[in-house]
Structure 1
């Protein structure tokens, strides 16, 4: 399973560990992924996603899963989220 957010496409970033002596070694910054069930108001059911905590806050701020997916860029969505977006477009 890839370490990538299904809604925003956020993935691992690369950087350096810097010691007190300024020695640098490569490291990875992994996103804070959470397994959540988000409820769709239009379809009346819940859908399971593996999304970043920041994406969960964004979904709440925008007013729910339906509104978020309507405005989301299709290039960043996972295949499951893309199917749901198309399902929502048909339902409205």
Structure 2
């Protein structure tokens, strides 16, 4: 399973650990991923996603999963999130 947020696309970053003597070796900065179940008001069902803690705060700030997905760029979303976004748009149009 990839270490990538399904809503924002935030993933692993690479960098250096620098000691006091300025010795450097490579390390990985992992995103703070959480398995959550978010409820879509439009679809009236729960959705299980693996999102970062920052994305979870943004979802709540924007007013829920539906509002977040409709504002988010398609390039950042996972295939699962894109499918949910498409279902939400279809349900709102009907």
User: So what's the TM-score if we normalise by structure 1?
Assistant: 0.99
User: So what's the TM-score if we normalise by structure 2?
Assistant: 0.97
CA deviation after TM superposition for structure 1 residue 60, in Å = 0.4
1:27-62 CA-partner distances (Å, limit 9, x unpaired): 010000000000001111100000000000000000
Q: Extract unaligned runs of 5+ from structure 1.
A: none
RMSD, aligned CA = 0.4
In 2, Cα distance between the equivalents of 1:7 and 1:43?
18
In 1, Cα distance between the equivalents of 2:58 and 2:14?
24
Equivalenced residue count is: 92
Where in structure 1 do 4 or more consecutive aligned residues deviate above 6 Å? none
In 1, Cα distance between the equivalents of 2:31 and 2:74?
20
